[in-house]
Every structure is written in C-alpha cells, then in structure tokens.
Structure 1
Amino acid sequence: MTVTETASATAPSAPPPPLAARARSIGGSPVRDILAVTARPEVINFAGGLPAPELFDAEGIAAAYRDVLAETPARALQYSTTEGEPTLRAALAARASARGLATGADDLLVTTGSQQALSLLATALLEPGDTVLVERPCYLAALQAFGLAGARVVAVPGDEDGIDPGALEELVVRERPKLLYTVPTFSNPTGRTLPAARRAAVAEVAGRCGLWIVEDDPYGELRFEGERVPWIASYEGARDRTVLLGSFSKVMAPGLRLGWLRAPAGLRRACAVAKQAADLHTPTVNQLAAARYLADRDLDAHVARVAAGYGERRDAMLAGLADALPAGSVWTRPEGGMFLWARLPDGYDTTALLPEVVRHDVAYVPGAPFHAGEPDRATLRLCFVTQTPDEIAEGLRRLAEGLRAAS
C-alpha cells in the first residue's frame, strides 16, 4: 500500500457542501406535519384541506381513463408539449370564457397542480430580495414558494372583507413590490370573499402603480350561497397584469394533480421555460382523461352536488362552534369553499393548545403559520368538508373537551 493510499484510508472524510441558504431557511408545511401526527383513523381531523373522497366521481374519472387508454394509448403514454394538451387547454379556455373572461387555448399553461404554477411564477418573476405582498393571513404554501425564491413577504392590512385597497396602494408606493398574491374567493385560510368593489379598486391600483397580481382561484366554483363575484382578471385595469390560477383538485380530484395558469404572453412563455426545467410537462394521460371527462360528463352538475354537500357540512360546523369554542370567540361564515377561520379571546395560543386537543382525537391548524410577519396566535383554521355532519358534531364535542382540558 502506498503512502497516498494509507492516508486516504485513515483520513476522516470531509462533509458534503451545505444546502442552499433558501432550503435551510424555509421550514416544512405545518399542515403536513399535523396530518402526519394525526394520521390515526380515530382522529377527526379538521386540519387538512382534503376534499371529501366519497363525493369524488370515481366512476366517471375511471371511465375517462379507460376510454383514453383504449382509444389513444400511444398518445396517452407518450411525452407531450410543455404548454399542455390542446384538447384540455381548449376545454379550459371555453369554461373561463363562459364565466366572463374571454380566453383562448393559447392563453393557458397546464401545470402539475396550481401549486406548481406558484413555483413557476416565483421562478419567472422574483429575484432574491424582491418584495411580495400577500393577504393577512395567507395560504401557507404560497408563503413557502415565495420564501424559497428569496422574496421578502409583506402582509397587506385588511378587515373581515379582505384586503384594504388604500393600504395596498400605500404599500405599493413604499415597498415597490413585484406582485400581490391573493385568494379572493373563499380564501384559504379564512373562507372570506373580496367584494366586487374592492376587486375593482385592487385592479385599479395595480394598473396605475405597476404591479403583477396573482389571483389564485381553487375554490371559486364551490359556492353554496350568494352570487358569484367576477375575477380580478376580468377588470380592465388588471387584464394585462393578472395571472389567474385554476385547479381540478377541489372540483374533480386532487390526485390528478392538474392545474393551470392564464397569463399575458411574455410571462406565460417564461413560466413554460421554467416548467421545462422542472418536469418537461404535466402527465399526458391525466390531461387527456380530464379532457375526456369534460367532453363526456357534466362537471358543473357534479360540482353543484359537491357544493350542496359542503354547504350542509359548513352548516353543521357553524351550528356547533358556539359550544365548542371559548366564550368570546369569533369566526367567519364562508359562502363557499372549504375553510372557516376562528379567533379565540386574547391570551389563548392555539399552537400551545394543540397537543392537548390532539389527545382528545381531534385536530385543527393553528393560525400563526399563515401570517407573514407578526402572527395572531389566538387564531385557527378549521376545514369543514372532509367529515360528515355527524362526524363534525362529534369532532366539535372533542374540540370543546380538549380546549377545556388545555386551558
């Protein structure tokens, strides 16, 4: 053995290079962490954002896959274009146009869930240190995506109706942000909906001050009362600067991992390049099956049935909250979607209370992680769609017991 070989055999190995700073600074999803802890079947879990599986049209989706694989197997199992299958993009464009936003197939990029759309937009728009404006509170995974891009995230003040357009303009002038991210219809986590007048004001601020708007709409079709509110993207001042995100996860099935973005041409092309680097394209067979489902089935009728069921579950949760939460608590009353937001009286910390609540076989998501900046630790998010009304009633009984035991 040579001297070099001896030294190599005895010298300690050097550690590998460190992770990127952005990976070290961004934690995982608290929702995912809670779901892992509460995966026991006896737990009634209000923490997840899981659609009710018994309401999936499993038969219709299975038929769409069978037909696609029987009739065009070579195409379904082959690589596809990054922009997405033309038949699916045409169907999506027709649905958007029917809802008041003139859209062509070429205006759309199909993504692997709308979560990927957020990552692509962060790649295409953000440099480290750029400022992003968000709602307070904000969808957790959006905060993750912007944090991984190295953005500085600032919350826009608001009230029970959502973003305050006046406060938005002040922040735009002072902070010079790249974009505003918003879930204006049945927001995650609050369930609130931004009124039409405020949407028009937000669009006007964006157009006058120079700002991209990312309008995320995964829940908008799940309305069980009230009138539909137009997309921000449909307002004149915002049409050339709004990216509209959509998804089949909440209206068809999340396992399909199908989303899309509608964006001005230059930004859409930049997102397509980013997608090429990420995954080349969204799975062809899933896209073709979704397009076949839209052609053969009545998705709107299916969504109406789902929304009716979710409305009953919302009512069950609202009926039991006064007995489940401490006196002095307040909560939202969403007209659709999947979530409501509650605030306990001052002095409560829902993160500290959660372990005792979980011991009573029920779970929620503490509100603190949904905040950019100073959190409100007395808040929590409850998902009302995954359980039946009877299960919701039992879960709220357990929640009341757990909160009493922890207090």
Structure 2
Amino acid sequence: MTPASAPASASAHASAATATAVPASPSSPVPPLADRVRTTGGSPVRDILAVTARPEVINFAGGLPAPELFDREGVADAFRHVLEEAPAQALQYATTEGEPALRERLAARVTARGLPTDADDLLVTTGSQQALSLLATALVDPGDTVLVEEPCYLAALQAFGLAGARIVAVPGDADGPDPDALAALVARERPKLLYTVPTFQNPTGRTLPAGRRAALAAVAARHGLWIVEDDPYGELRYDGEHVPWIAAHPGARDRTVLLGSFSKVMAPGLRLGWLRAPAELRRACAVAKQAADLHTPTVNQLAAARYLDVRDLDAHVRRVAAVYRERRDAMLAGLPDALPQGSVWNSPDGGMFLWARLPESYDTTALLPQVLRQDVAYVPGAPFYAGEPDRSTLRLCFVTQTPEEIGEGLRRLGKGLLGR
C-alpha cells in the first residue's frame, strides 16, 4: 500500500463502519394499485375453470368450443404454407390495422352476409375481446355512462368497468333491450354507447328479432348514441334464418361498431378478431391498439388468410353447427329431470349457451360448491348483471361435451341441486 492510498483506504473503512452503525429505516409501502383494477373484479368464469380443470369434471361452465371439431389439418397446413412461402413476412412486424390479405377476405365475408364492407373499414384485433378494450379506451372517459343488456356478457362489464364507466342496464324482455326504456335512459343519462350481443347472446342464448333491432337502431339515430354490436356466435345457427345486423340498418350505419371473431368458428387459440367502424372511431382504435400491442401476430393473420383461400370455412361451420345442434338437443332433453320443478329455460336457435332460471328460493351461487362436489359445473347468473342480480339464474354451455357426457353431467347436476 502506498502512503497516498493509505488515508483513502482508512476513510473507506470508517465510512463502512458508520454505515453499518446507522439503524435501517423502515421501508415505505409501494404506491397502491390503480382504482380501476381495485374496483373491477376478476372473471368468475375463469375462476371456475381453474377449479374444474380436473378431467373427471363435466364442465358446463366454460364457453369453450369443442376441440375435437377444430380443423387441425387445415389450420396446420395454412401455417406450414406461410412459414415456408413467406417466412420473412410471417415472422416480421406488421401494420397495426392488420394484414391486407386478411382484411380483404374478412370484408368479402361480411359483405356476403349482407353488409357491404371494404378492407379499409376493418381493424384486425387480438380476439374480439381486445376490440372491447380498444373501444373503451377510444370512447369512454371515467364517469361516462355505458348502457348494457341485462344480463350482459361478463367480459364487457369488465372492459367498460376498467375504463371507469358508469354501467347502467337497459330494462328488457325475452326479445332483448326495450327500445322505449332505451330512449328514456338515453335522454336521462346521456350515455356514450349501448353494448349488445344480439345473436345467440352470452349468457342467455337469446336472439333479438329484426323488429327489435330496427327499433334500437332508430333510437340511436334519433338520440345520438353509439351501438357496439358484438357478434362472435352469429354463424353458429342451427335453426331459423339469419337476422340482419343492426349495423345494416341505414339509420345506424354511421354509429354502429360491429365486432367479429374467428374464435368460435376456426379456433380461439389464434386470437383473431376484428372490428368494423366509421373511419374516425376506427382510427382512434388503431391508435389505442398501437399502445396496447402494436399489431395482432402476423403469422396468425397470414395463416387465417391462407385458410380462407384454400378451405371452405362455411362448410366447416355447417359441420360444427350440426354437431352442436345435437348437443343442444341432448341438454334440452335432460333438463326437466336435472332442474327443480318450476324451473324455466330457453331453447336457443344457435350459439353455445342456454339460460335457466330456478325457483326464486334457489341461489345458484350458494349452491355451486355442493354441485362441484358432484364433478359438474355451471356458471351462476349473478355476475352477468350490472344491476340487481337474479340469483336464481345460471348459464350452461352445451357444446363442449358429447350427448352422452351431457346426459351424465345433467344427472350429476340434478344430484347436486336436488340431493338425489
């Protein structure tokens, strides 16, 4: 050690000793979570799925398409093609709005179903669930009022709740939201939007008739209101005829956002959805998407576009719908013995869900634990309500199990509910 370095070393040791001698101050708490996440609950459906992951459980709770019906060969071929023929493009960043090839094919499908659409009218999203989040970001300021159906798709309640919306349910009946009640609420609340799943709704499975859709469109045009029309299930029709979208009504075309998805007709793991909206709102959603995830995965988009080029998606959907019809019928046949006397339920013309109401004395949330002990599950109806819930209701998904499994599941359900 040189003389010059000795004092510095001594000083360093002294400083270290002083530092260790000073008592450590207590740690301050970290800042709290944002109010929006502290006041918005999680998804009871997701919580139930975590509990029912055991293979012996017959799960009527999830909104899960039947995996054995996926066109695995067709989807795999599409991915192989794009990775072999255009790997640099498929594995690269893409535009926020979505791959032009996919948007062109989506526009053709929407046009074929009765709503003239160009590729530039569409924004590709990471599942239609993201479209809800983008719309909430683009339209809703904290404290704004959002109108919803009663009951309502649970994840929509979450998306608008996280945006700080004041969520108000529109009174309705078996045909959906009541137009007169909607007009009164719009006049009183000055809401930003009405959210609806008009075809094979989640959770009820109901479909709004054409007349009701026209009336809702007229209210929106007369009073100034956005309509968010979510249509993930519309192609899964078993009975009856296609009902035109609300977005197809002339008075609503400049104020309706139409959402769609490949999750129920191709595969949910692709996370491919889209929204069709007027230009200004669509651009605002694109800006929100840039901040969220830049763009939906390129390889998934190109594979979906390839699939639409070489496979007949409509024929695939018809095959799936035929199987789902059998499963719906199996559930309808078994419900009278599974549910308490005095229960009522609907018979949906398509989609994935059936809605039941037990006698008033039954609380389906309180009953769920004893039903789960029978290795069967449903979703209680209460979480789907923005207002006062009907605790006697429940949602049953009928598409994931075979008719034989549905029969056994309903036997277990009856044992759990009725103790027999």
TM-score, structure 2 normalization = 0.95
Q: Deviations over 1:359-402 (max 9, x none)?
A: 00000000000000100000000000000000000000000000
* Matches for 1:7-406 after TM superposition, within 5 Å: 10-405=24-419
Q: Deviations over 1:197-254 (max 9, x none)?
A: 0000000000010000000000000000001000000001100000000000000000
Judged with a 3 Å threshold, the aligned counterparts in structure 2 of structure 1 residues 327 and 75 are, in CA distance, closer, same or farther, namely: same
Distance 1:163 1:189 in 2: 14
For residue 12 of structure 1, report the CA deviation from its aligned partner. 1.5
Distance 1:5 1:266 in 2: 60
Distance 1:129 1:196 in 2: 33
Q: Deviations over 1:263-286 (max 9, x none)?
A: 000000000000000000000000
Any idea what SS the aligned residue of 1:380 has?
A: strand
In structure 2, what residue type is equivalent to 1:25?
Answer: T
1:191/1:334 contact within 8 Å kept = yes
Stretch deviating more after TM superposition (265-274 or 397-406): 397-406
In structure 2, what residue type is equivalent to 1:173?
Answer: A
Distance 2:38 2:84 in 1: 47
In structure 2, what residue type is equivalent to 1:233?
Answer: A
Any idea what SS the aligned residue of 2:389 has?
A: coil
Distance 2:96 2:166 in 1: 30
Q: For this pair of structures, how many residues does the alignment match?
A: 406
For residue 38 of structure 1, report the CA deviation from its aligned partner. 1.0
Distance 1:332 1:381 in 2: 11
In structure 1, what residue type is equivalent to 2:143?
Answer: G
In structure 2, what residue type is equivalent to 1:84?
Answer: G
Task: List gaps (5 residues or longer) in structure 2.
Answer: 1-14
1:123/1:274 contact within 8 Å kept = yes
Judged with a 3 Å threshold, the aligned counterparts in structure 2 of structure 1 residues 64 and 7 are, in CA distance, closer, same or farther, namely: farther
Distance 2:185 2:347 in 1: 29
Any idea what SS the aligned residue of 2:295 has?
A: coil
Is the radius of gyration larger for structure 1 or structure 2? 2
Judged with a 3 Å threshold, the aligned counterparts in structure 2 of structure 1 residues 59 and 4 are, in CA distance, closer, same or farther, namely: farther
Distance 2:196 2:371 in 1: 31
TM-score, structure 1 normalization = 0.98
Judged with a 3 Å threshold, the aligned counterparts in structure 2 of structure 1 residues 7 and 73 are, in CA distance, closer, same or farther, namely: farther
Any idea what SS the aligned residue of 1:10 has?
A: coil
1:111/1:282 contact within 8 Å kept = yes
Q: Deviations over 1:288-311 (max 9, x none)?
A: 000000000000000000011000
Distance 1:262 1:193 in 2: 21
When the two chains are superposed, the root-mean-square deviation of aligned CA atoms in Å is 1.1
Percent identity, aligned pairs only, is 81
Judged with a 3 Å threshold, the aligned counterparts in structure 2 of structure 1 residues 12 and 268 are, in CA distance, closer, same or farther, namely: same
Judged with a 3 Å threshold, the aligned counterparts in structure 2 of structure 1 residues 4 and 99 are, in CA distance, closer, same or farther, namely: farther
In structure 2, what residue type is equivalent to 1:61?
Answer: V
In structure 2, what residue type is equivalent to 1:239?
Answer: R
Judged with a 3 Å threshold, the aligned counterparts in structure 2 of structure 1 residues 39 and 6 are, in CA distance, closer, same or farther, namely: same
In structure 2, what residue type is equivalent to 1:78?
Answer: Q
In structure 2, what residue type is equivalent to 1:237?
Answer: G
Judged with a 3 Å threshold, the aligned counterparts in structure 2 of structure 1 residues 386 and 9 are, in CA distance, closer, same or farther, namely: farther
Distance 1:402 1:235 in 2: 46
Distance 1:201 1:8 in 2: 74
- Report the equivalent of 2:5: none
Q: Deviations over 1:130-170 (max 9, x none)?
A: 00000000000000000000000001111111111111111
1:247/1:259 contact within 8 Å kept = yes
Task: List gaps (5 residues or longer) in structure 1.
Answer: none
Structure 1 segments, 4+ long, off by >6 Å, are none
For residue 2 of structure 1, report the CA deviation from its aligned partner. 5.8
- Report the equivalent of 2:10: none
Distance 2:417 2:80 in 1: 49
1:183/1:215 contact within 8 Å kept = yes
Any idea what SS the aligned residue of 2:400 has?
A: coil
In structure 2, what residue type is equivalent to 1:252?
Answer: M
Distance 1:7 1:62 in 2: 66
Distance 1:67 1:164 in 2: 49
Distance 1:185 1:242 in 2: 15
Distance 1:35 1:4 in 2: 56
1:356/1:405 contact within 8 Å kept = no
